[in-house]
Structures are given as structure tokens and as C-alpha cells.
């Protein structure tokens, strides 16, 4: 069962360009990425688009579909009314390269700045540890992140205010939470999160949680607990006094 | 030189999946300067899609497991065609590589006493796969990515290598282009490690992404290295079949590992009828026994036949479909809903649940999946030294799927992720040593690099040339039709003739637009590798007149004892493809006994 669908795709380079309309034969179950590929193969071979797994596992094909940040491979054409065109544009929070492709290198540079995983000494002389499933599961939610950067794209601190230099964005707060909740990790990232990480910029509008294709509860489970830890460290008057008196760090 | 960026490294690693990352980490740890080339963005390589787990005889669940049993399973699964030494090294070193990954931050699922849990998988005597739900690859690649980045590895993203330059009888470096700018880049190196993965994009129904165009296979061949086993291609038994747009997408073997069963249109669990002679006695013979294994005591019951090796299961599915007992969309049914409670399925197979729900509108906790075979993996590839992973070209190494030997005629599920770690590490170590000993590769004359670049830009001169995507699609059709799961002489000869015509068409493809991020141009350049690996597969498949593991011939349906442990070797001879037979070294008596009699 095929159906004719219209797609309006942003074509152009380095921010300059226009929406161009294409018509494509759509088969059953087709997703937006399939339609983009068909246009590429049959009508516009130089149409730039990133993709890899086509199954929501690699996070490469991020774009904005009718203005909403989504993975093109997990968005079915049939979710949109057939009579209206579907608009596909590149992510807005990153510098535009060409067509649907943006320069996401800032994310990789930002990732590198997070203090890395630092394990406690092994529990046993053979160099191994014991961890329990319930401990592991707490961290696993954050480790589902496929680095699609849709949460970065939707976050107004980055998207509207361009605070890329001051704020690492929800994706890397999730990564920090993955380290912080790792049962073996002993690094202290609170100073990093407050200063370099700019966690205070997040005002909990939860847009990131809404667009996460992995359904990570970014705001409630990652960001808010991190904010609490930072606040405990920096604004607890008793702890402050203790540090001043003893020169030692607390909890 | 104009229009070309230059970098120099002791070790250049091409490919940033598990093997490439592990090689880069090891080379950097031995003090080498390391460059890492990713065809996509970092962290998006195929490893990220691996689902089921990494096989290693950790013996955390079944205490009597050990490397000997893992070795035996690997050799039997590979139909005794494996490089015995690689299979031994792999089985012996895999547990350390997994524990090391944990020390670097990987969080595997746990046993009740807090150790790394292990999952049952096809062809493995005991439950042996370290896993993280059904997203083990994602966990592995993130941990390796972190480790590599903090080890100071120079990462070059969205960069495709088109040529390995050779001089003074050794690898000198590699030339490629950045997708973003279309500009060329020359990496001069002391040693080069290929970790480029497989060739699955040469077929139409595939679980592989756009990257899997056989780049490393082609680059090694072009550089004069030998390749072996190219006739052995793995069809994963369970790919999605419906809707058409998702055809080929992988459904993890973990579904069967967790108790999922295969049924035909009559509701029959048909795998009981397909247990091969070699495995008689190792598998459950009744549904009751198989079910008892799933939910009960695994030491007293035998495994369900759904956990036979992938080659056996894939062929059984094809036979059922051909006999008219297939599902409505040309597959068979994979059912876990009737075997496990919904919350268990969602916990152990979350991404499968999500994938079917979103893409097919199927709730796998309530209804069966429709599945069928999909191209998944190539056992064949660059011939390497089992200890160092060096190819027959000095200074050129290969690890992971692009290298051959470990898996023989058929790979066991779970042995790929451990392969990447074990042999990625060894390749990185040996490459760093080679570069330390031999120094930087020889300088390459400018005109040699210039000629490669000019050739790469030729498609732009044919703006009215044929569309490269059309040629790619035609190639996939040919390979799917004539070099698929079941082959015969007439079909393979037809394929060879068709490939000849496609080569002509490939010479005439044209592209329009600029060099910046131009997928048409990228596809045009990938065609050379795709056509070459397809030809290798077809020629080797025509040569091997028997059926063994991942290579099935309808005109030679049986294993031929005279061809046991004999290799089809492919090597470039001028502009032509040279093919010859060669016996493998004999398996030492002690290990042979192990394989035959058990540990």
C-alpha cells in the first residue's frame, strides 16, 4: 500500500538556504529517514543527512520534524496527516553545515571536560569488585543515552541563549549523573558541575525529558539530584563552617 | 601540497568501533602517538548496535565453565575451519578483557552475589555472555570511547580512507577525505591498523548500516594483502521482516537466550527437527525439557534447539518458509510473550520491546514477532598472524570483523564483542611495537597522492553520469539474488557476469553539487570497495564446492571432508583477482582431542 507524501526539507549550507518540497512514494511503515533516503537516492543525491543504525540505537539522525526535535529513524510518516507536508529541518542549537547536518563537535569537546570515571580500589586481591543489580540499575538509566543531542537542541539555555561556553547542557548532566551514580566511582564532580558545568543555568523546564528518545527522565532523575548535591556542598552553612574550621571536605 | 591536510602518527587506526578503539587505547598505553579515524561520528560505529553480549568464560554463573569449553564451542561452531591459535587466544584472554572493561567503568548486569551475570546464547555450552540488558554494545563503546579520548588519542571524525599507501615493502600511511569539507587528508604512520568492520551493505536485506561497505577488506586487498574465507558470510536468523521499511533490522539472539521460541505457521516449534548430527545429544529433544531448561535447573536439562548455531537456525527458517510454513510476510514467528512475563521481557530486552513497538506496532510482551534471516557478519577478511594481527603486508594490521580466522565458517553469537577486545588490544600492542622498531613509514611521492585524489574527484567531471545510488541498489539486488543464504554454481557465475557489468556502470557514475558533505559522492567512492568485496565473495563461493557453516550450496549440500581446514585465499594480481587453495596448519593433538571429546 503506497501513498504519495510531501516533505519540505531544508536545503542549503552554513545557515543560508530554503525549504524545498519533494514528493515521495511512501510504503507501509515508512519512517521520515526512509523518505529522506528515497529522495536522496532518486532526486537529490547531494542531500546531506547523517544516519547509521536506523533503529534508534546510535543517535545519528537527529533533526527537527515539524519543529520538534526527533530521531528521523523512529518517526513514522503515518503519525502525520497525509494531506499536509512534513517539514524536516536541521537541529537549531548547533552551527549549520549542510542540509540536515550540523556541526556537533562542541558536544564532544564538552564531554571531554567532565572528570572521568574514577573507581575505588578493587574489593578483592584479584582486582574485581562486587556490585548488586539494584545499584547498577540506578546508573543504567543514564547510560542508555545514545548521544543524539536532541536534549541539547531543545534546551533554551543553549538554543535560545547560546550559553554553550557556560553550560554543558542536559546531555552531559546525564553523563555526569551516570558517573556519579556508578557504584564504584569516587570522583567529586560538584565543583565542576557548579563552575564549568553551569548547572545553575538549568531552570527545570523539563523540555529535555520530553524529547529524549530513550525516555531518560533527565530533569527529575539526573539534573535535580545533581543540583541538590551541588547545593549541599556549596550552600550548607554547617558544612561551610566545618570546612573552614578543619580544612577538610565533607560528604 | 595544495588541498591536503597532513598528520603524522606512530599508529593510525582506521575504524572506531570496539576493535579500533581498543587498539588505539593499547597503542597509546604503550607510548605511541595514535590517530583514530571514524567514518561516522565517534561512538556511532556498528559496535553501538550490538545487543546480546560479549562471550567470555568468566564462570560467574556456571562454575565449571573455562577457556577450553569456550574454545571447543568456537571451533565446533566454526565447523573446525577456524584458525585454532586465534580461537585459543580468544577463549583464554576474553575474561581478562571483560574484567578490564569493568575496571574502566562498564556496568554489566549482575548475578545475585554481585558478580558479572552471564546469558545463554546459541552454540555456547554454558551461559557465557556478559551483557547489559540488550544494549551491550552501547555500554562497551561508551566506555572505550571515554578511555580513548582521555588517553590522548587524536580523533578524526567523519573521515573516510580511500587508499593505503605502501612503500619500501611496508604500509606507509593512508589517504582519505573529510565528509564535512570534502578535503583530502594524508596520514603518514609507522603502522596502520584496519578495524573497519564488515561488508553487509553489499546485500539488500541487511542488519548493517551505510558504513559497512567493506572498506578495510578493499584497502588491504588493494595494498597487496591476502584475504581468506570470503565465502563465509553470516546470515543472522532473526531480522525484522515487517513492515518493509525495517526489513533486515536485527532482533537480538538474546530473545532466544531469554527463552524465546521459533514457530512456523502451524504453531510448531520446528527447531527440534533440525538438530545436526554433530550436536545430537547436546540439545533438548522435547518441549518439556526445553522449557524446564529455560525456567529451571540448567545443569540437569539440555538447551532448547533454538540455541543452535546461527547457520543452522537461519537455514532451518529458510527451509520452513520454502515448505510453505512461513508467516504472512515471509518469515517465521519468534515468540517470547508466551514464555516470560511482560515485566521480565521489558527488563531484559528493553530495546527490542521499544523497537517493535515503535517501528512495527507490535507489543512483544503480548504477541509473537515475525522474523527472517538478514545479512549480519562476514567471517572472511584480512589474513592475519594470530599473535600480532599483522597482515601479509608488513606494518598493516587488522582486528575485529575485517580480520579473518577466529570464527572459521560460522561465528558464534557473543564471540564478536570479545573478539574486538582481545584482538583489538593485540593489534594495538603489536602495531605500536612495529612502529617503535621500524619508525615512521617511508615518505610517499606527491604525485602518487595526487593521482589518488584526482581519481577520487573524477565523478564530479561527469555531472550527467549515472546515479551512484542506482548502481549500489543494483549491486545489492545481484548479491541478494545470487550470493544469498543458499547458492549454486549457475547463480554464482551469473553474479560474476553481473558484477562485471556493474563495474562498467560504476566507472560512469557522476555526481553534482559541491564537495561539502555530498552523500552522492561518498556513495560513488564506496562503490569500488563494495564491488571488490562482492567479487571476492562470489569467486570464493564458486570455488568452495561444499556446504559448510555460513556457506551453503544447493548443488553441493554436504560438507566435503577433503575440504576440511582448506582455505580459499584471495589476493590482487595486477588488475585481476587471484584465487588459490591452501591447507591450514594442523590443530595440535591435545586441542584436537579437546574438540572431539570435550574438556
Buried/exposed A88-124: b ≥16 CB within 10 Å, e otherwise = bbbbebbebbbbbbbebebbbebbeebbbbebeeeee
Q: What are the DSSP calls for B294-341, one per residue?
A: HHS-TTTSPBPGGGS-HHHHHHHHHHHHHTT---TTSSEEEE-TTTS-
Residue A80 CB coordination number (10 Å): 16
From chain A, pick out residues whose CB is under 8 angstroms from the CB of B155. Answer: 108
Identify the pLDDT of residue A251: 43
* Identified catalytic residue from B76, B256, B303, B571: B256
pLDDT band at A248 (very low <50, low <70, confident <90, very high): low
Q: What is the pLDDT of residues B422-457, one digit of tens each?
A: 999 999 999 999 999 999 999 999 999 999 999 999
pLDDT band at A109 (very low <50, low <70, confident <90, very high): very high
Would the CB atoms of B44 and A52 count as touching at under 8 Å? yes
From chain B, pick out residues whose CB is under 8 angstroms from the CB of A15. Answer: none
Identify the pLDDT of residue A249: 56
From chain A, pick out residues whose CB is under 8 angstroms from the CB of B25. Answer: none
pLDDT band at B599 (very low <50, low <70, confident <90, very high): low
- For residue B356, the chain A residue with the least C-alpha distance is A55
Would the CB atoms of B48 and A58 count as touching at under 8 Å? yes
On the question of pLDDT at A246 being above 90, the answer is no
Would the CB atoms of A50 and B146 count as touching at under 8 Å? no
Helix ranges, chain A (H) = 32-42, 105-113, 133-143, 150-154, 156-159, 169-180, 190-194, 207-211, 224-235, 237-246
Which of A28, A112, A122 minimises the CB distance to B244? Answer: A28
Distance between CA atoms of residues B176 and B198, nearest Å: 19
Helix or strand or coil: residue B540?
helix
From chain B, pick out residues whose CB is under 8 angstroms from the CB of A189. Answer: none
From chain B, pick out residues whose CB is under 8 angstroms from the CB of A31. Answer: 245, 359
On the question of pLDDT at B391 being above 50, the answer is yes
pLDDT band at B491 (very low <50, low <70, confident <90, very high): very high
Torsion of CA B211, B212, B214, B217, to 10 degrees: 100
Q: What is the pLDDT of residues B456-482, one digit of tens each?
A: 999 999 989 999 999 999 999 999 999
Furthest-apart CA atoms within chain B: distance in Å: 72
- Residues 6 or more apart in contact with residue A65 via CB below 8 angstroms: A32, A72, A75, A86, A87, A88
Q: What is the pLDDT of residues B9-59, one digit of tens each?
A: 999 999 999 999 999 999 999 999 999 999 999 999 999 999 899 999 999
Q: What is the pLDDT of residues B124-164, one digit of tens each?
A: 999 999 999 999 999 999 999 999 999 999 999 999 999 99
Would the CB atoms of A74 and B358 count as touching at under 8 Å? yes
On the question of pLDDT at B575 being above 70, the answer is yes
Q: What is the pLDDT of residues B287-332, one digit of tens each?
A: 999 999 998 878 789 999 999 999 999 999 999 999 999 999 999 9
Which of A34, A46, A57 minimises the CB distance to B49? Answer: A57
Would the CB atoms of B107 and A98 count as touching at under 8 Å? no
Which of A29, A46, A105 minimises the CB distance to B518? Answer: A46
On the question of pLDDT at B337 being above 80, the answer is yes
Residue matched to cell numbers 557476469: B497
pLDDT band at A2 (very low <50, low <70, confident <90, very high): confident
Identify the pLDDT of residue A242: 73
Distance between CA atoms of residues B548 and B51, nearest Å: 26
| Chain B nearest CA to A237, separation (Å) | 34
Would the CB atoms of A55 and B473 count as touching at under 8 Å? no
Would the CB atoms of B209 and A51 count as touching at under 8 Å? yes
Which of B107, B469, B514 minimises the CB distance to A45? Answer: B469
Q: Is A103 on the interface with B (CB under 8 A)?
A: yes
Mean pLDDT of B220-245: 96
A62-91 residues touching B, CB cutoff 8 A: 74, 76
Which of B43, B113, B246 minimises the CB distance to A29? Answer: B246
Q: Is A53 on the interface with B (CB under 8 A)?
A: yes
Does ipTM come in above 0.90?
yes
Buried/exposed B111-142: b ≥16 CB within 10 Å, e otherwise = beebbbbbbbbbbbbbbbbbbbbbbbbbbbbb
Is the separation of the CB atoms in B312 and B253 below 8 Å?
Answer: no
pLDDT band at B260 (very low <50, low <70, confident <90, very high): very high
State the DSSP code for A55. S
- Residue B398 φ/ψ, nearest 5 degrees: -145, 140
Identify the pLDDT of residue A1: 66
Identify the pLDDT of residue A232: 83
- Residues 6 or more apart in contact with residue B41 via CB below 8 angstroms: A50, A60, A104, A108, B157, B158
Percent of chain B exceeding pLDDT 90 equals: 95
Is the separation of the CB atoms in B564 and B80 below 8 Å?
Answer: yes
Q: What is the pLDDT of residues B166-182, one digit of tens each?
A: 999 999 999 999 999 99
Q: Is A116 on the interface with B (CB under 8 A)?
A: yes
Distance between CA atoms of residues B315 and B311, nearest Å: 6
| Chain B nearest CA to A90, separation (Å) | 14
- For residue B150, the chain A residue with the least C-alpha distance is A112
Size of interface A-B (CB pairs under 8 A): 170
Buried/exposed B334-363: b ≥16 CB within 10 Å, e otherwise = bbbbebbeeeebbbbbbbbbbbbebbbebe
Closest CA to A23 of A100, A101, A86, A89: A86
- For residue B143, the chain A residue with the least C-alpha distance is A117
Residue B327 sits at the vertex; the CA angle it makes with B324 and B328, to the nearest 5 degrees, is 100
- Residues 6 or more apart in contact with residue B347 via CB below 8 angstroms: B133
On the question of pLDDT at A243 being above 90, the answer is no
Q: Is A14 on the interface with B (CB under 8 A)?
A: no
Q: What is the pLDDT of residues B321-335, one digit of tens each?
A: 999 999 999 999 999
Average pLDDT score, chain A: 94
Total H helices, total E strands in chain A: 10, 7
Judge residue B78's burial from the number of C-beta atoms within 10 Å of its C-beta, 0-12 exposed, 13-18 middle, 19 or more buried.
Answer: buried
Would the CB atoms of B245 and A59 count as touching at under 8 Å? no
Percent helix, strand, coil in chain A, to 5, is: 40, 15, 45
- Catalytic residue flag (residue B256): yes
State the DSSP code for B286. S
Average pLDDT score, chain B: 96
Torsion of CA B1, B2, B7, B12, to 10 degrees: -90
| Chain B nearest CA to A49, separation (Å) | 8
| Chain A nearest CA to B255, separation (Å) | 17
* Identified catalytic residue from B76, B236, B383, B411: B236
Q: What is the pLDDT of residues A52-89, one digit of tens each?
A: 999 999 999 999 999 999 999 999 999 999 999 999 99
Q: What is the pLDDT of residues B66-125, one digit of tens each?
A: 999 999 999 999 999 999 999 999 999 999 999 999 999 999 999 999 999 999 999 999
| Chain B nearest CA to A203, separation (Å) | 28
- Which residues pair with residue B138 across a beta bridge? none
User: Chain A interface, mutation test: which of B99, B107, B250, most A Cβ atoms within 10 Å?
Assistant: B107
Closest CA to B529 of B300, B220, B265, B303: B220
- For residue B360, the chain A residue with the least C-alpha distance is A29
Amino acid at each position: 500500500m503506497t501513498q504519495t507524501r510531501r516533505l519540505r526539507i531544508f536545503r542549503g549550507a552554513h545557515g543560508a538556504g530554503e525549504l524545498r518540497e519533494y514528493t515521495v512514494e511512501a510504503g507501509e511503515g515508512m519512517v521520515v529517514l526512509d523518505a529522506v533516503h528515497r529522495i536522496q537516492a532518486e532526486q537529490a543525491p547531494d542531500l546531506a543527512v547523517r544516519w547509521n543504525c536506523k533503529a534508534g540505537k546510535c543517535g545519528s539522525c537527529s533533526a527537527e520534524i515539524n519543529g520538534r526535535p526527533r530521531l528521523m529513524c523512529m518517526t513514522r510518516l503515518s503519525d502525520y496527516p497525509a494531506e499536509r507536508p512534513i517539514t524536516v529541518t536541521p537541529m537549531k542549537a548547533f552551527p549549520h553545515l549542510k542540509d540536515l547536518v550540523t556541526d556537533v563537535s562542541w558536544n564532544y569537546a564538552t564531554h571531554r571536560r567532565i572528570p572521568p570515571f574514577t573507581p575505588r580500589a578493587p574489593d578483592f586481591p584479584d582486582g574485581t569488585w562486587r556490585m548488586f543489580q539494584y545499584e547498577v540499575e540506578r546508573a543504567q538509566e543514564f547510560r542508555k543515552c545514545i548521544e543524539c543531542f536532541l536534549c541539547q537542541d531543545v534546551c533554551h539555555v543553549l538554543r535560545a541563549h547560546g550559553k554553550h561556553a557556560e553550560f554543558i547542557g542536559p546531555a552531559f548532566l546525564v553523563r555526569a549523573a551516570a558517573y556519579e551514580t556508578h557504584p564504584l566511582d569516587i570522583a567529586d564532580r560538584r565543583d565542576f558541575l557548579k563552575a564549568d558545568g553551569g548547572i545553575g543555568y538549568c531552570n527545570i523546564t523539563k523540555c529535555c525529558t520530553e524529547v529524549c528518545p530513550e525516555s531518560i527522565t533527565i530533569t527529575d532523575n539526573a539534573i535535580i539530584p545533581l543540583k541538590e548535591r551541588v547545593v549541599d556542598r556549596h550552600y550548607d552553612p554547617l558544612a561551610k563552617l566545618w570546612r573552614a574550621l578543619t580544612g577538610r571536605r565533607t560528604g | 601540497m595544495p588541498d591536503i591536510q597532513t598528520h603524522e602518527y606512530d599508529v593510525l587506526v582506521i575504524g572506531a568501533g570496539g576493535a579500533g578503539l581498543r587498539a588505539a587505547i593499547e597503542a597509546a598505553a604503550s607510548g605511541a602517538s595514535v590517530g583514530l579515524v571514524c567514518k561516522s561520528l565517534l561512538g556511532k560505529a556498528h559496535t553501538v548496535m550490538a545487543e546480546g553480549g560479549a562471550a567470555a568464560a568468566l564462570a560467574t554463573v556456571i562454575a565449571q565453565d573455562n577457556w577450553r569449553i569456550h574454545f571447543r564451542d568456537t571451533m565446533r561452531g566454526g565447523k573446525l575451519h577456524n584458525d585454532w591459535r586465534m580461537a585459543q587466544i580468544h577463549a583464554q584472554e576474553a575474561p581478562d578483557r571483560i574484567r578490564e572493561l569493568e575496571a574502566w567503568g562498564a556496568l554489566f548486569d549482575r548475578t545475585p552475589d554481585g558478580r558479572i551475570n552471564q546469558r545463554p546464547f546459541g552454540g555456547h555450552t554454558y551461559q557465557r555472555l556478559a551483557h547489559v540488558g540488550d544494549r551491550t554494545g552501547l555500554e562497551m563503546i561508551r566506555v572505550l570511547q571515554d578511555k580513548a579520548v582521555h588517553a590522548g588519542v587524536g580523533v578524526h571524525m567523519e573521515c573516510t580512507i580511500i587508499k593505503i599507501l605502501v612503500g619500501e615493502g611496508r604500509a606507509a600511511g593512508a589517504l582519505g577525505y573529510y565528509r564535512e569539507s570534502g578535503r583530502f587528508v594524508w596520514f603518514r604512520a609507522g603502522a596502520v591498523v584496519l578495524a573497519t568492520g564488515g561488508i553487509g551493505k553489499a546485500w539488500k536485506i541487511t542488519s548493517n548500516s551505510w558504513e559497512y561497505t567493506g572498506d578495510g577488506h578493499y584497502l588491504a586487498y588493494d595494498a597487496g594483502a591476502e584475504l581468506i574465507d570470503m565465502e563465509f558470510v553470516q546470515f543472522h536468523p532473526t531480522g525484522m521482516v515487517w513492515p518493509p521499511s525495517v526489513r533486515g533490522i536485527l532482533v537480538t539472539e538474546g530473545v532466544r537466550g531469554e527463552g524465546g521460541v521459533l514457530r512456523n505457521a502451524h504453531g510448531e516449534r520446528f527447531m527440534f527437527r533440525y538438530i545436526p548430527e554433530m550436536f545430537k545429544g547436546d540439545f533438548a529433544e522435547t518441549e518439556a525439557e526445553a522449557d524446564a531448561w529455560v525456567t529451571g535447573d540448567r545443569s540437569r536439562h539440555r538447551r532448547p534447539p533454538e540455541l543452535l548455531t546461527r547457520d543452522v537456525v537461519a537455514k532451518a527458517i529458510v527451509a520452513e518458509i520454502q515448505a510453505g510454513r512461513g508467516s504472512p510476510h515471509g518469515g517465521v514467528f519468534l515468540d517470547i510473550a508466551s514464555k516470560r512475563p511482560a515485566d521480565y521481557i521489558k527488563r531484559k530486552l528493553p530495546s527490542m520491546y521499544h523497537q517493535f513497538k515503535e517501528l512495527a506496532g507490535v507489543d512483544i510482551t503480548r504477541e509473537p514477532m515475525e522474523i527472517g534471516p538478514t545479512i549480519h557478519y562476514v567471517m572472511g577478511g584480512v589474513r592475519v598472524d594470530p599473535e600480532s594481527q599483522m597482515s601479509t603486508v608488513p606494518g598493516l594490521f587488522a582486528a575485529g570483523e575485517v580480520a579473518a580466522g577466529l570464527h572459521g565458517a560460522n561465528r558464534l553469537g557473543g564471540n564478536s564483542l570479545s573478539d574486538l577486545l582481545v584482538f583489538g588490544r593485540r593489534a594495538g600492542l603489536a602495531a605500536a611495537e612495529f612502529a617503535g622498531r621500524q619508525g615512521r613509514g617511508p615518505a610517499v611521492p606527491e604525485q602518487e597522492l595526487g593521482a589518488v585524489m584526482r581519481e577520487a574527484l573524477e565523478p564530479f567531471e561527469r555531472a550527467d553520469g549515472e546515479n551512484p545510488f542506482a548502481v549500489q541498489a543494483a549491486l545489492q539486488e545481484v548479491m541478494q539474488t545470487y550470493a544469498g543464504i543458499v547458492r549454486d554454481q549457475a547463480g554464482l557465475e551469473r553474479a560474476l557476469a553481473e558484477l562485471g557489468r556493474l563495474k562498467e556502470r560504476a566507472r560512469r557514475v557522476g555526481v553534482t553539487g559541491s564537495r561539502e558533505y555530498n552523500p552522492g559522492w561518498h556513495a560513488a567512492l564506496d562503490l569500488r570497495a563494495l564491488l571488490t568485496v562482492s567479487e571476492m565473495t562470489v569467486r570464493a563461493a564458486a570455488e568452495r564446492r561444499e556446504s559448510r557453516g555460513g556457506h551453503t550450496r544447493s548443488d553441493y549440500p554436504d560438507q566435503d571432508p577433503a575440504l576440511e581446514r582448506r582455505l580459499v585465499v584471495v589476493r590482487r594480481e595486477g588488475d585481476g583477482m587471484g584465487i588459490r587453495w591452501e591447507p591450514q596448519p594442523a590443530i595440535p593433538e591435545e586441542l584436537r582431542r579437546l574438540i572431539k571429546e570435550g574438556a
